[in-house]
Amino acid sequence: MRPLLIWDIDGTLLEPRGIGRAALNEAFAAMYGIAAGFDGLDFAGAADHDLWLQATAQSHVRPTADETAKFFITYRNRLEALLTRTPLRPLPGVSTLIPLLSQMGWPMVLGTGNIRAGAYAKLSAAGIANYFPGGGFSQPNLTRADILQSAAAGRDPATVIVLGDTPRDIHAAHANRFVILGVATGRFSEASLAQEGADLVLPNLGSPDQVMMALTTLANGRGPGVAP
């Protein structure tokens, strides 16, 4: 049986265009009248609920549980509206690679800092949502490592490969004893992802053959390094 592939979304599957940040800011302004509530926060590999806690803290807002739930409903609606005007595009190679992996029988799920509704809104707008039947998503009090653990659904760590573009993805994968294929399509270079401990690193997902070679290498228990 092929290993389970757990995919990050922003910067790994889809180009990061700031749509999520814009929707979060719009929702925050709608609820509290505070513009740019999420500006200045580090989104790379962060979970939506962690960002929410940081935004409310820096704006000196103390939300109730009901307000938190209302915020994320508002965010989802704002995100969907923004995506109708500016849909996110898959990063180079993704539109070819994901159907190919599916046809070859690689099981795939998501391991993302997005809330579930936000994740599928983004992937649906990009036309690839149907390839990911579930996974781990941002929830209150879940760390990034918890999200990946949820996505793995109890599988043996030796049968899981994570794909992500940030140091937070790497550290969360290794906290669960998963190997990770770092993809330098976000803010971080190949060298920096390797230095952070990625088991293999690719510059991008543009070459299906290169990706297959890297996945096969990790599935066979080899690494770390920069994939050829």
pLDDT of residue 224 exceeding 50, the answer is: no
Would 224 be classed as within a structural domain?
no
Examine residue 133 and say whether the peptide bond preceding it is cis (omega within 30 degrees of 0). no
Same domain, 47 and 28: yes
User: Tell me, what's the pLDDT at 222?
Assistant: 55
Q: Return the beta strands (E) in the chain as ranges.
A: 4-7, 108-111, 135-136, 160-164, 179-183, 200-202
User: Tell me, what's the pLDDT at 17?
Assistant: 86
Provide the percentage of residues in the chain whose pLDDT is more than 90. 93
| Mean pLDDT calculated for residue range 135-146 | 97
d(CA 137, CA 118): 9
Would 151 be classed as within a structural domain?
yes
Q: Could you tell me the pTM of the whole model?
A: 0.94
Same domain, 54 and 163: no
Render pLDDT for 17-49 as a digit per residue (tens, 0 to 9): 899 999 999 999 999 999 999 999 999 999 999
Same domain, 69 and 139: no
Would 37 be classed as within a structural domain?
yes
Same domain, 125 and 181: yes
Provide the number of structural domains found in the chain. 2
pLDDT of residue 148 exceeding 60, the answer is: yes
Among 66, 85, 104, the domain boundary falls at: 85
Among 70, 85, 100, the domain boundary falls at: 85
Same domain, 183 and 71: no
Same domain, 28 and 136: no
pLDDT of residue 97 exceeding 60, the answer is: yes
User: Tell me, what's the pLDDT at 87?
Assistant: 84
User: Tell me, what's the pLDDT at 123?
Assistant: 97
Same domain, 199 and 116: yes
Would 227 be classed as within a structural domain?
no
Would 228 be classed as within a structural domain?
no
Angle at 147 between CA 199 and CA 140, to 5 degrees: 145
Would 145 be classed as within a structural domain?
yes
| Tokens at 183, concatenated | 């993809």
Among 85, 112, 143, the domain boundary falls at: 85
Same domain, 112 and 180: yes
| Mean pLDDT calculated for residue range 88-114 | 97
User: Tell me, what's the pLDDT at 218?
Assistant: 96
d(CA 163, CA 199): 10
Can you give the CATH number for the domain in which 215 is found?
A: 3.40.50.1000
Same domain, 156 and 189: yes
Same domain, 113 and 175: yes
Same domain, 213 and 112: yes
Specify the long-range contacts of residues 139-142, CB closer than 8 Å, at least 24 apart. 139/49, 139/115, 140/49, 140/68, 141/49, 142/47, 142/49
User: Tell me, what's the pLDDT at 16?
Assistant: 81
Same domain, 51 and 77: yes
pLDDT of residue 130 exceeding 90, the answer is: yes
Q: Which domain holds residue 208?
A: 4-15+90-219
Render pLDDT for 51-67 as a digit per residue (tens, 0 to 9): 999 999 999 999 999 99
User: Tell me, what's the pLDDT at 118?
Assistant: 97
